[in-house]
Amino acid sequence: MKLRDIAIGANASMYYRMDFKKIRGVYYPKTEADVLAAIAFARENGYDVTPKGGGSGLSGACTGGDIDRIMMSSLQMTEMLAISKDMGYVDVQPGLTPDEINAVLEPMGMKLHVAPSSRDIATVGGILSTDGGGNDTWVNGTMRDNTIKVKMVTYDGRRLTVSHEGVKSDDSELEAELNNKGMTINDIASSHGTLGFITELKLFIRPLVNETLAGSLVEFPDYDALGQAVDEIIKRKSPIRYGETIVTAHPDVREGFNPPLLILQYPEGYDSELSEFVDVKKLDKEELKRMKDVRLKLPKRNPKKGVQFALFEGYGFHEESLRKMQSALDEIDALLQSHDLVPFAKYGHAPSKWYLGDNTAAYGIILHSREIRPEGKTGTELLQILLDIVERCESLGVTPKPEHKWPFDDKTKSARLSELRKIIGQGFNSFILDETCNGVLSSMV
């Protein structure tokens, strides 16, 4: 086995080119004691620590950049430590996936209600580190909403327990200092492993919902009509159990459907209220299954000529940008085309929920995006296009990368993480908060 195989494993981002001479060790701990030993080795040798879960994130954080580092995987930390059906929680190690947890819970009539599309490979520690979710976040929230507390280890080997109320530690001075700064689960969420290594999570679990659902398809004449319909769903707090949109799709993969459209599931009978503000086309079970399948396979298909790729994973349309999607998407597509990228598909969760860098909740549409990759573009050029998109999103009131929380260019989140790291230690995934981060990433595309 080569170092390349165990150091990268799964890495869903476009940042593949790594300097393996800078990786000084790869660890697969099973216990907190193993974690402490690996961190001690890194600290004694002046190496950084890069935490890694299933590698299904799209930010490139699990690569560790280009500094001398050890990589520490949670994939062998897969114990379920305690289950309380009555109290509604499960204690788990960070390397378990939602699917693995639910395989144990569902026979008990319980479930962890966090369902990213990568729930079969994404680890719960990693999902919290990106504050991920799926098409159920409208109902169940993101990972931070489903996490009661976490245990973690800092770069100097101190132990922390972080909840929504604050921090506890055996080090009373550290505890007081972090509580004075107001540190909570909100800081761990979307921190991309920059604060420490998560060793245990206490997660909310709730009963399985037993209800009869209906499925519908709603087609729209333009993006504004789609955005305004989702805005109305949000205002009404509609009981949407599954909501996905296909906004655009390349002609080579259309399959006869007519975007923009919404695919919805909701309790039987709610279609009468939906019909008050959209034209609803009821879907039977087979039609609904087909439309879900079309949506899932869009990012896995290629045009007849060229190759599609994920230059920029997500756009969060909310409030004004949601109600005026047409002009925003037109500007984004014009920017792509000016750089010789052909828009391939835009699709995603609607309605959905995510958090902004200041921890306020946003509600709207999370669009994932694929483009046809142009020939001859260097990594530096592609990264600059991506940064241009971030800047354009911010000017349009669109949240860039809402689901994969890109702290590299989220100034509010970056400043907060840097503030905490001055107290907690700075040896975890340091490249993310370095001013040269974007240059590092461009060399890895």
- Tell me the average pLDDT across 198-218: 95
Residues 174 and 232 in one domain: no
Residues 244 and 378 in one domain: yes
CA 175 to chain centre: 29
Asked if residues 54 and 170 have their Cβ atoms less than 8 Å apart, the reply is no
Long-range Cβ contacts of 172-181 (<8 Å, 24+ apart) = 174/423, 174/424, 177/423, 178/420, 178/423, 178/424, 181/419, 181/420, 181/423
* Residue 254 confidence class, pLDDT cut points 50, 70, 90: confident
Asked if residues 437 and 408 have their Cβ atoms less than 8 Å apart, the reply is yes
Residue 247 has pLDDT above 90, yes or no: yes
Write down which residue in 385, 400, 415 finishes a domain: 400
Domain total of the chain: 3
How far, CA to CA in Å, does 398 sit from each of 4, 408, 416?
37, 17, 21
Asked if residue 102 belongs to a domain, the reply is yes
Q: What is the pLDDT of residues 13-26, one digit of tens each?
A: 777 788 888 999 99
* Residue 12 confidence class, pLDDT cut points 50, 70, 90: confident
Identify the bridge partners of residue 49 per DSSP, sorted by sequence position: 70, 428
Residue 254 to residue 258: CA distance in whole angstroms: 8
Question: Tokens 């999902």 appear where?
Answer: 127
* Residue 209 confidence class, pLDDT cut points 50, 70, 90: confident
Give the three-state DSSP class for 230.
helix
Residue 410 has pLDDT above 90, yes or no: no
Residues 288 and 310 in one domain: yes
Write down which residue in 178, 207, 236 finishes a domain: 207
- The amino acid at 422: K
Q: What is the largest CA-CA distance in the chain?
A: 65
Asked if residue 406 belongs to a domain, the reply is no
Give the tokens for residue 285.
Answer: 């079970």
Write down which residue in 149, 177, 207 finishes a domain: 207
Give the tokens for residue 29.
Answer: 């701990």
Residues 306 and 219 in one domain: yes
Give the three-state DSSP class for 318.
strand
Rounded-to-10 torsion of CA 341, 347, 351, 354 = -50
Radius of gyration of the chain measured on its C-alpha atoms: 22
CATH assignment at residue 89: 3.30.465.10
pLDDT, mean over the chain: 92
Asked if residue 416 belongs to a domain, the reply is no
* Residue 9 confidence class, pLDDT cut points 50, 70, 90: low
Asked if residues 369 and 311 have their Cβ atoms less than 8 Å apart, the reply is yes
Contacts with 25 (C-beta within 8 Å, 6 or more apart), sequence order: 38, 41, 42, 47, 70, 71
Residues 221 and 308 in one domain: yes
Residues 219 and 341 in one domain: yes
Q: What is the pLDDT of residues 37-88, one digit of tens each?
A: 999 999 999 999 999 988 887 788 888 888 999 999 999 999 999 999 999 9
User: 108-112, 211-215, 403-407 — which is least confidently predicted?
Assistant: 403-407
pTM of the model: 0.92
Identify the bridge partners of residue 152 per DSSP, sorted by sequence position: 160, 198
Pairing of strands 69-73, 48-52: parallel
Asked if residue 437 belongs to a domain, the reply is no
Residue 46 has a pLDDT of 97
Residue 2 has a pLDDT of 59
Residues 170 and 29 in one domain: no
Contacts with 142 (C-beta within 8 Å, 6 or more apart), sequence order: 114, 131, 132, 133, 189, 353, 354, 355
Distance linking the first and last C-alpha atoms of the chain: 24
Nearest to 165 by CA among 156, 174, 175: 175
Residue 100 has pLDDT above 80, yes or no: yes
What is the extent of the structural domain holding 21?
A: 3-74
Residue 153 to residue 133: CA distance in whole angstroms: 24
- The amino acid at 443: S
Residue 146 has pLDDT above 90, yes or no: yes
Residue 77 to residue 99: CA distance in whole angstroms: 15
